[in-house]
C-alpha cells in the first residue's frame, strides 16, 4: 500500500497540488479511496471528503467553501456533480487515473518525502463537512494530531490487536467509519475488509467472519427484527426454547459473578440456541460490536449481550473526531455511552448540555469564526447534546438540545428517548415524536409493512400490535410525556423528499411540513387513541 500511496501523491504533486491545498474525494467506499486519502496527506494537502449521495448543488458549495484545487471522483457520474470553476481546476476520475498513477510509480518520491518531513501535528489534515438536518453543511477542521491522538486513546481501552479483523462499511466521508475502521486499524495493525455496502453485510459477515465491527443502531435493529421474525414463524416448542435461552443469556450478562447453576444453564443455552445464532448473525468469531452515530435502544443492546455478542455503545461528534466516550468490555453500563476516553474531560452545563475537552476537539469551523466562537469556549466544545454523568463516571445522552420542545402545558419533552423506546418493537421501522406547543404528545410511526404481511397481519393487526408497544412505553413515562395518539404512515421517509439528511437522520421540520395533515388530525380530528 505504501508504494501505491507515494505514487498517487506523486501524481497529485505533478498535477500542481501544493502543501496546504484542499483536494476533494467524492466516491463510495473502495480501496482507491484510501490510497487517495493518505496520498493527499502525504503530499501535504488537505482531504475534503464528500458523501457520494450528495446533491450537485451541495457538492459545489463545499468545493467553493474549501477552495479545493482538485477533485478525485470515483467515476464519470460522480465527476459530473462538480463544476470546474476557480480555484477547482482539475477533476480526476478514480476509475481511469488512479491505476495509471500507480503504474507510473513514485516520480516525485523526494518531494513527497520532503513534504512529509515538514508536516506538524497541528497542521490541518482534513475538512469534514457535517451532513446536518438543517442548513448548509459546516466544514469541521481536524488536525493530524486529532486523528492520531484519538485513535491511540481508543486502542488504550479496547482490547484490539493485530490478530483482529474488521468489516468496514460505514461511509468514509464521515469520521465514524474513517477513523474507527481505517485510521484505528492502522494503529492496531489488524485486517480491514471493505464491504460492498450495507445490502451485502449478511453474506459478507459469513465470508469475512470479523472479530470486531463498528456500525450504527439501524443495522443492529434490522438484525434483531430478522431474528424475532424468524422466532415468530417457529413452532411453539422452538419458540419456548429460544425464550428460555434468551432469559438465561440476559441473566448471565447482567451478573458480575455468576454461580455454578447459572453457568451451567448458560452452557446449555449456548449449545441449544445461542452459539448457532451468533454464527448465523456474524460468522461466529465476533468479539464485540461498537455502536455509534445515534441512540441505541436498551432492548437491542440487551439482546446482543444476552446472545453473547456485546455491543459497546459509544458517543462522539465530527467536532470531537468521532470518539469521546465508549463502553468497554471491562466497564459497561446499559443505557449509557460509557466513560470518556483517556485525555477526554466532560462537563455538564447548567442547562444539561454536554461540554467536551479532549484530543479530538476540532480546530474550528472552516471560514466560520462566529460559528466556531459559539461552540468553542476556553477549550471546551459545546456539543448541543443533553446528558448526565452518573456517580461512576458513565455518560447518559438524553437528547439533542435543539430537539427538546415544550408542550402547551410548559413541560419539556425529549423526543429521541421516546423514539428509541418505540424502536424496541422490531415491527416499527421509524418513529417521530410530535408535540411542540401542543396540548399533548403524538407520534408518526412507520411500520415494517413487509414483515407485518409476512406475519399475516392486516392493517388492523398492525395497529393493534403497535398499540401494545405504545402502551408499554407509556407505562414508564410521566403523564405529560405519554403518547396520546399515533398515526401509521404507508412508507418510510426519504432523502429524495428532503425528509432525511445525507446521514439518514430525520429532518423534523420537513417531516412536520410534509405530514401536517396527519399531525393536525391527531389534535383536531378523531384518530384512534393510544
The CATH code of the domain that includes 90 is: 3.40.50.980
pLDDT surpasses 70 at 528: no
The answer as to whether 258 is a domain residue is yes
Q: Is 410 exposed, middle or buried (0-12, 13-18, 19+ CB in 10 A)?
A: exposed
Same domain? 350 vs 449: no
Same domain? 378 vs 509: no
Same domain? 411 vs 354: no
Detail the DSSP E strand segments found in 237-352. 288-291, 311-315, 325-326, 339-340, 345-348
Q: What is the pLDDT of residue 245?
A: 96
Same domain? 221 vs 242: yes
Indicate the residue among 119, 144, 177 that finishes a domain.
Answer: 119
Same domain? 468 vs 432: yes
Taking Cα atoms as reference points, which of 446, 417, 469, 442 lies closest to residue 228? 469
Q: What is the pLDDT of residue 9?
A: 97
Per-residue model confidence as pLDDT tens digits over 407-450: 877 777 888 888 888 988 889 989 999 988 888 999 999 999 99
Q: What is the pLDDT of residue 378?
A: 95
pLDDT surpasses 60 at 91: yes
Task: Report the share of the chain in percent with pLDDT over 70.
Answer: 98
Task: Report the share of the chain in percent with pLDDT over 90.
Answer: 74
Does pTM top 0.75 for this prediction? Answer: yes
Within 10 A of 103 (CB to CB), how many other CB atoms are there? Answer: 8
Same domain? 251 vs 384: yes
Same domain? 349 vs 466: no
Same domain? 313 vs 415: no
The answer as to whether 151 is a domain residue is no
Q: What is the pLDDT of residue 133?
A: 45
Q: What is the pLDDT of residue 294?
A: 79
The answer as to whether 356 is a domain residue is yes
What value does the mean pLDDT of the chain take?
92
The answer as to whether 158 is a domain residue is no
Confidence of residue 264 (pLDDT cuts 50, 70, 90): very high
Higher pLDDT, 366 or 507: 366
Confidence of residue 332 (pLDDT cuts 50, 70, 90): very high
pLDDT surpasses 60 at 387: yes
Indicate the residue among 60, 87, 119 that finishes a domain.
Answer: 119
d(CA 192, CA 196): 13
Q: What integer is the mean pLDDT of 495-516?
A: 83
Per-residue model confidence as pLDDT tens digits over 146-164: 999 999 999 999 999 999 9
d(CA 112, CA 38): 12
Q: What is the pLDDT of residue 502?
A: 67
Which residue range(s) make up the domain with 291?
212-363+371-400
The answer as to whether 174 is a domain residue is no
Q: Is 251 exposed, middle or buried (0-12, 13-18, 19+ CB in 10 A)?
A: middle
Same domain? 253 vs 285: yes
Query: φ, ψ for residue 274 (rounded to 5)?
Result: -70, -40
Q: What is the pLDDT of residue 132?
A: 53
- Give the three-state DSSP class for 192: strand
The answer as to whether 144 is a domain residue is no
Q: Do 230 and 222 meet the contact criterion of CB atoms below 8 Å apart?
A: no
The answer as to whether 467 is a domain residue is yes
Burial 7-42 (b: 16+ CB within 10 A, else e): bbbbbbbebebeeebbbbbbbbbbebbbbbbbbbbb
Q: Which residue has the cell 445464532?
A: 277
Specify which of 369-383, 424-438, 513-527 reaches the highest per-range mean pLDDT.
369-383
Domain count of the fold of the chain: 3
CATH code of the domain containing 473: 3.30.300.30
Q: Which residue has the cell 502543501?
A: 19
Amino acid at each position: 500500500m505504501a508504494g501505491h500511496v507515494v505514487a498517487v501523491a506523486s501524481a497529485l504533486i505533478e498535477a500542481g497540488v501544493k502543501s496546504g491545498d484542499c483536494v476533494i474525494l467524492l466516491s463510495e467506499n473502495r480501496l482507491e479511496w484510501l490510497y487517495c486519502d493518505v496520498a493527499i496527506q502525504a503530499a501535504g494537502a488537505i482531504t475534503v471528503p464528500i458523501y457520494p449521495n450528495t446533491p450537485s448543488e451541495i457538492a459545489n458549495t463545499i468545493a467553493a467553501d474549501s477552495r479545493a484545487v482538485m477533485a478525485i471522483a470515483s467515476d464519470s457520474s460522480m465527476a459530473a456533480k462538480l463544476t470546474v470553476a476557480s480555484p477547482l481546476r482539475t477533476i480526476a476520475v478514480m476509475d481511469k487515473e488512479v491505476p495509471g498513477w500507480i503504474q507510473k510509480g513514485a516520480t516525485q518520491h523526494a518531494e513527497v518525502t520532503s513534504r512529509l518531513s515538514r508536516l506538524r501535528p497541528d497542521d490541518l489534515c482534513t475538512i469534514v463537512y457535517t451532513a446536518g438536518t438543517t442548513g448548509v453543511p459546516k466544514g469541521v477542521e481536524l488536525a493530524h494530531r486529532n486523528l492520531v491522538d484519538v485513535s491511540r486513546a481508543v486502542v488504550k481501552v479496547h482490547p484490539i490487536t493485530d490478530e483482529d479483523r474488521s468489516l468496514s462499511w460505514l461511509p468514509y466521508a464521515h469520521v465514524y467509519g474513517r477513523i474507527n475502521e481505517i485510521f484505528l486499524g492502522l494503529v492496531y495493525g489488524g485486517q480491514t475488509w471493505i464491504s460492498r455496502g450495507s445490502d451485502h453485510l449478511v453474506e459478507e459477515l459469513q465470508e469475512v467472519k470479523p472479530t470486531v465491527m463498528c456500525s450504527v443502531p439501524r443495522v443492529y435493529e434490522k438484525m434483531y427484527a430478522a431474528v424475532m421474525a424468524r422466532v415468530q414463524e417457529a413452532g411453539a416448542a422452538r419458540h419456548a426454547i429460544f425464550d428460555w435461552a434468551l432469559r438465561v443469556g440476559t441473566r448471565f450478562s447482567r451478573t458480575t459473578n455468576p454461580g455454578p447453576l447459572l453457568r451451567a444453564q448458560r452452557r446449555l443455552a449456548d449449545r441449544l440456541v445461542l452459539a448457532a445464532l451468533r454464527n448465523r448473525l456474524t460468522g461466529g468469531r465476533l468479539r464485540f460490536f461498537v455502536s455509534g452515530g445515534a441512540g441505541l435502544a436498551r432492548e437491542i443492546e440487551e439482546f446482543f449481550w444476552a446472545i453473547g455478542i456485546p455491543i459497546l455503545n459509544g458517543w462522539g461528534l465530527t467536532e470531537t473526531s468521532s470518539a469521546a466516550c465508549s463502553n468497554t468490555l471491562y466497564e459497561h453500563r446499559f443505557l449509557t455511552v460509557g466513560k470518556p476516553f483517556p485525555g477526554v474531560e466532560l462537563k455538564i452545563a447548567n442547562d444539561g448540555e454536554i461540554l467536551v475537552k479532549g484530543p479530538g476537539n476540532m480546530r474550528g469551523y472552516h471560514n466560520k469564526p462566529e460559528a466556531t466562537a459559539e461552540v468553542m469556549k476556553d477549550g471546551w466544545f459545546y456539543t448541543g447534546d443533553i446528558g448526565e454523568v452518573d456517580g461512576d463516571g458513565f455518560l447518559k445522552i438524553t437528547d439533542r438540545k435543539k430537539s427538546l420542545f415544550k408542550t402547551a402545558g410548559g413541560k419539556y419533552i425529549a423526543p429521541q428517548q421516546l423514539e428509541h423506546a418505540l424502536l424496541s418493537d422490531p415491527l416499527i421501522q421509524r418513529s417521530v415524536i410530535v408535540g411542540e406547543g401542543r396540548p399533548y404528545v403524538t407520534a408518526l410511526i412507520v411500520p415494517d409493512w413487509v414483515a407485518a404481511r409476512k406475519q399475516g397481519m392486516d392493517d388492523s393487526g398492525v395497529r393493534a400490535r403497535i398499540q401494545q408497544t405504545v402502551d408499554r412505553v407509556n407505562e414508564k413515562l410521566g403523564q405529560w410525556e405519554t403518547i396520546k395518539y399515533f398515526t401509521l404512515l404507508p412508507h418510510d421517509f426519504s432523502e429524495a423528499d428532503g425528509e432525511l439528511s445525507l446521514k439518514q437522520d430525520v429532518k423534523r421540520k420537513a417531516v412536520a411540513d410534509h405530514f401536517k395533515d396527519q399531525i393536525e388530525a391527531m389534535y383536531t380530528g378523531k384518530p384512534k387513541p393510544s
